[in-house]
Amino acid sequence: MIGFIFRRLLQAVPLVIGVSLIAFALMHLAPGGPLAVYTLNPTIQAQDIERIKIILGLDQPLHVQYVKWATGMLTGHWGFSFFGGRPVLDIILERLPATLILMGSALSVAIILGLGIGILGAVKRYSIFDTLATSGALVALSFPTFWFGLMAIFVFAINLRWLPSGGMYEFGEEGNLLSLLRHLVLPTLVLALVITATWSRYTRSAFLEVMNQDFMRTARAKGEPQSARLFRHAFPNAAKPLVALLGVELPFLFSGALVTETIFGWPGMGRLFVDSLNMKEYPILMGLMMFTALFVIFGNLLADIAIAAMDPRVRL
Amino acid sequence: MQSRVWQRFRTHRLAVAGLVTVSALLLAAILAPILAPRDPTLIETQLRFLAPFANASLPLGSDELGRDTLSRLLHGGRVSLTVGLVAMITTVLTGALVGIAAGYLGGIVDTLLMRFVDTMLCFPQVFLLLVVAAFVPPTLLSISLIIGLTSWMEVSRIVRAEILQLKEQDFVAAARALGASRRRIMFRELLPNAAAPILVAATLKVASAVLMESYISYLGYGVQPPLASWGNMLTNAQGYLDTVPWLAILPGLMITLTVMGFNFLGDGLRDALDPRLRMDP
């Protein structure tokens, strides 16, 4: 197992390097270069820009800049924001909890619902429930997340007045758990919709595949009740592709969170990304690109290790 | 062979519904200049915020500048579908090219290309899309290309897997024995045989491209006003959600309908072309 983890870690190294190269290249291809806020600002003199370039090391050859930047990333020096001059890593980590709360609650809701719908659909294949669930999932996958969010606000916040339309806390109630939960309902609903649809589809096909296998027939022949067959025999075998899905879906989760946070004014990383984009805050944008990509690489690593722990064949 | 595919497709009711929806939407987009009762950019401030069916000359009401919603939906659909189709073509061309090169040439080419694919897939697509869209002056072509160039990775994996399977078959060996060049084998022998999964992926990619266009246009980095797209019609609508909700409801319904149509069509095509991949009843 330790050998497997070590080999899998080694495989992640080229990915990390690749991701950093793409992020670095993107920022240097940007119009106005990494200093666009200054170069596109007519009140800043050319000689000042030259001075800033030298201070930040932007006058050096690209490969030198890359190595400096990459070693900075490795040691936690992610640069400073243009506005406010605060460390980028601090700004991102400040926003991380809000995003994790949103993604965590949406993912939990989606996995529970998706597993339930998927298993039921597989057990009662071609029933009315199954047909409705599979076509419903495809309909749910067709909703633009932001529009579904707008409609949720329209119905539950504006018409029924049950829930707040945005933000994370009521003013003056920061840290109040009840207030947080009330604000969490709609964003969770919106973000969970698409993930639930994906999960129910994958759960259904994973279970259908397992249920056709010989050991399931044997279990049935032995007279085991359906619940035991499903949860003791089918579930452990169907779980592997689902754990892999957890890793693969991470980028989509981040994309969905960005859109959801923007609509509901949720103070997370996605909102930070859109705000930084509007202000041309390249250091923060670059930091967020790297942070999410590293998060995705790490998540896939964990998923693979979990799969290897579940199935000894994978470890070889 | 082809009639069997059509027969399987026909029994898939949702897929047929998808085909009908997609055809109707495409027709409406092509005929938009004829069908639209008014100029979609005509501003008439005395006709602001009309409700649907309130005024005979503006059947679906008007927006905050008094522009006709029906005309804007028709012309917006033209824009959204154009972006969706051009993005899909970009996606499929790039994905198929990378997939064929990686799958057939193998070795170092395969390793490098597939590691690049893995790397690109680490970035959430909306993040990548927004960063690039913010850098490039938004025109219809640039938006389509950006969407296409950030979503070809899955297609390349599908094509590569298909090619890996195909290249071991006898007809490829026969072509090689007849002295066919590498390029001929790749594009004349292998590519046509991989057409089925590519067609399915292409259909589903139109759906996701239309979605992506609506995301970035909604956030202000896509199609720019006064040109209407379903996505940017929603940007301003959010502010009037409490008083004039139909401004937000109608464009969103059109996006959902379009994406749903292509998704059902793609799903049905997959089942009809390759029963092995069948996922849904």
Cα gap B94→B101, rounded to integer Å: 11
Instruction: Give the residue among A166, A189, A168 at the shortest CA–CA distance from A179.
Output: A168
Residue to substitute from A27, A28, A128, A142, interface B, most B β-carbons within 10 A: A142
Average pLDDT over residues A6-31: 87
Place of tokens 């949702």: B14
Question: By the CB < 8 Å criterion, does B132 face chain A?
Answer: yes
Tell whether A259 lies on the interface with B, counting CB pairs under 8 A.
yes
Region label for B106, one of left (φ > 0), alpha (ψ between -120 and 50) or beta (otherwise): left
Instruction: Tell me which residue has tokens 């070590």.
Output: A6
CB atoms within 10 A of CB B89: 17
Asked whether the beta carbons of residue A289 and residue B123 sit closer than 8 angstroms, the reply is yes
List of residues 6+ apart from B94 with CB closer than 8 A:
B148, B149, B152, B155, B156
pLDDT tens, residue by residue, B209-232: 999 999 999 888 888 888 888 988
The alpha carbon dihedral of A207, A209, A211, A215 has a sign of negative
Could you report the per-residue pLDDT of A80-119, keeping only the tens digit for each? 888 888 899 999 999 999 999 999 999 999 999 999 999 9
How many angstroms away from the CA of B136 is the closest CA of chain A? 8
**Residues in chain A within 8 Å Cβ distance of B135:** 26, 29-31
Which residues on B lie below 8 Å from A297 (Cβ)?
Answer: 122
The confidence score (pLDDT) of residue B90 equals 96
Global pTM value: 0.88
B268 is written with which tokens?
């049905």
State ipTM: 0.87
Mind telling me how many Å the CA of B124 is from chain A's nearest CA?
4
Contacts of B219 in chain A (CB under 8 A): 262, 274
Rounded Cα gap, residues B270 and B262, in angstroms: 12
CB of A303 within 8 Å of any CB in chain B? no
Residues 17-46 of B with CB under 8 A from A: none
Chain B hits for A134, CB-CB cut-off 8 Å, are 279-281
A147 with B248: Cβ contact below 8 A: yes
Q: How far apart are CA A281 and CA A99, in angstroms?
A: 20
Question: Does the beta carbon of B16 lie under 8 angstroms from any beta carbon of chain A?
Answer: no
Residues A232-245: tens digit of each pLDDT: 888 888 888 888 88
Give the distance from residue B31's alpha carbon to the nearest chain A alpha carbon, in angstroms: 25
Could you say which of B135, B241, B280 has the minimum Cβ distance to residue A154?
A: B241
Poorest-pLDDT segment among A46-55, A254-263, B206-215: A46-55
Size of interface A-B (CB pairs under 8 A): 138
Contact A147 B211 (CB under 8 A): no
Q: Is A13 on the interface with B (CB under 8 A)?
A: no
Cα B151 to Cα B138: distance, rounded to the nearest angstrom: 18
Per the CB < 8 A criterion, the answer to whether B176 and B185 are in contact is yes
A81 min Cα distance to partner chain B (Å): 17
Q: What single-letter DSSP state applies at residue A218?
A: H
**Chain B touched by A199 (CB under 8 Å):** no
Tokens 């670095």 sit on residue: A24
Residues A132-151: b if buried by 16+ CB within 10 A, e if exposed? ebbbebbbbbbbbbbbbbbb
Q: Using a CB-CB distance cutoff of 8 angstroms, which residues of chain A are in contact with residue B118?
A: 15, 18
Nearest chain A Cα distance for residue B193, angstroms: 26
Chain A CB contacts of B251 below 8 Å = 147
User: In the numeric block, which tokens belong to residue B117?
Assistant: 């694919």
Smallest Cβ distance to B124: which of A150, A154, A254?
A254
**pLDDT given for residue B279 in this prediction:** 45
Give the number of C-alpha atoms closer than 13 A to the C-alpha of residue A252, restricted to the C-beta side. Answer: 20
For the stretch A212-234, pLDDT in tens is: 888 888 888 888 888 888 888 88
A262 touches chain B (CB under 8 A): yes
In angstroms, the CA A183 to CA A185 distance is 6
Query: Is there a contact between A134 and B281 if contact means CB atoms under 8 Å apart?
Result: yes
Which residues of chain B form beta strands (DSSP E)? none
DSSP state, residue A162: -
Distance CA B49, CA B68 (A): 10
Q: Give the integer Cα–Cα distance in Å for A252 and A234.
A: 28
pLDDT at residue A81, rounded to an integer: 84
Among the partner-chain residues A146, A251, A293, the one whose CB lies closest to the CB of B218 is: A146
Q: A282 pLDDT exceeds 60?
A: yes
Rounded Cα gap, residues B229 and B82, in angstroms = 10
Nearest-Å Rg of the Cα atoms of chain B is 22
> Within an 8 Å CB–CB cutoff, is residue A32 touching chain B?
no
CA pseudo-torsion sign A154, A159, A160, A162: positive
Do the Cβ atoms of B248 and A150 come closer than 8 Å?
Answer: yes
Kindly calculate the radius of gyration of chain A based on its CA atoms and give it in whole angstroms: 24
Res B276: pLDDT? 56
Q: What part of B 219-258 touches A (C-beta under 8 Å)?
A: 219, 221, 231, 234, 237-238, 241-242, 245, 248-249, 251-252, 255-256
pLDDT digits (tens, 9 = 90+) for A187-217: 999 999 989 999 999 999 888 888 888 888 8
Q: How far is A309 from chain B (nearest CA, A)?
A: 23
Please give the pLDDT value at position B32.
Answer: 78
**Are B281 and A142 a contacting pair at CB < 8 A?**
no
* pLDDT in the model for residue A92: 93
- Residue A176 has a pLDDT of 78
Please answer yes or no on whether B124 and A22 come within 8 Å at the CB atom. no
Nearest residue on chain B to A209, judged by CA atoms?
B279
Q: Distance from B211 to chain A by nearest Cα, in Å?
A: 6
Q: How far is B250 from chain A (nearest CA, A)?
A: 10
Residue B188: DSSP 8-state: I
Q: How far apart are CA B187 and CA B66, in angstroms?
A: 53
Instruction: Indicate the DSSP class of residue B49.
Output: T
Using a CB-CB distance cutoff of 8 angstroms, which residues of chain B are in contact with residue A158? 241-242, 245
Rounded distance between C-alpha atoms, residue B130 and residue A145, angstroms: 16
Give the amino acid at B268. Answer: G
Residue ranges for chain B with pLDDT beneath 50? 278-281
Q: Is the peptide bond before B251 cis (omega within 30 degrees of 0)?
A: no
Counting Cα atoms < 13 Å in the Cβ hemisphere of B276 gives 2
Distance (Å, whole) CA B78 – CA B125 = 24
Q: How many CB atoms lie within 10 A of CB A51?
A: 11
| Nearest-CA distance A200 → chain B (Å) | 12
Q: Give the confidence band of A58 by pLDDT, cuts at 50, 70, 90.
A: confident
